[in-house]
Amino acid sequence: MAKQRGIIKLEGTIGDITFYKSQDGFLAKGKGGIPKDRIENDPNFARTRENGAEFGNAGKAGKTLRTSFRGLLQNASDNRMVGRLASKMVEVVQADATNPRGLRNVIDGEAELLEGFDFNKNGKLGRTLYAPYTAAIDRVTGALTVDIPSFVPANMVAAPGGTSHFKIISGGAEIDFENETFVVDTNETAILPWDNTATAVINLANIVTANSTHPLFLALGIEFYQEVNGIKYPLKNGAFNALNLVKVSGI
């Protein structure tokens, strides 16, 4: 593809050239490619079909994970998160050492590779929340927990300009990737002042199915607010909010 330059930007198709607008600006691409029926049937494209099947598995798994945390992601994600997560899911699928190429999947892959994934590249948890915390997953009880000792917000939270308050959020998800279903439980603190007064000890518990045989995911995040005339408004539409997969337990 090529970038459009000049004062007049085009959108649409002229001859074999398609002009369009994307996140990377105004682009142009030529018509071409291999016929679909050849890719689907030609033995020379067996590897292509296998790769396509695995990309499809990764894409569906990423969508299921995103959907499970949708309530939290509405306030903490960037505009390229879907693609970044899909790429990470491909790594999970390719780590499957059980099934042959084309049949590798998330269930038999290494879901733990998703641990540490930030849903918002503009507000990474590791650069926002410096207070020490303990994240744990107990498969027997189905409890996914985060424990944070008392801390001074002004010292341990790197808040964006205009912040007056914040809150800590968490979510636990049990995901059946094969059937594209999930069980999710979320929790949060009260909205706390961002100042020099130490917080109380924070304990957030998210409960899913006990003795689950599905992958479990624990997310931890932080949201920022600005108080105006006694009302606390989300700061800049959540552009700096963080959400991270702090703990993952595969099958």
**More reliable by pLDDT, 34 or 173:** 173
Q: Map residue 117 onto helix, strand or coil.
A: coil
Domain ranges of the chain: 1-32, 36-249
Q: Do 215 and 178 contact (CB within 8 A), yes or no? A: no
pTM to 2 decimal places: 0.82
pLDDT reported for residue 54: 76
Sequence-ordered list of residues with C-beta below 8 angstroms from that of 28, at least 6 positions apart, any chain: 1, 2, 3, 4, 10, 17, 18, 19, 20
- At 103-156, the pLDDT tens digits run 888 888 899 999 999 999 999 999 999 999 999 999 999 999 999 999 999 999
- At 184-217, the pLDDT tens digits run 999 999 999 999 999 999 999 999 999 999 999 9
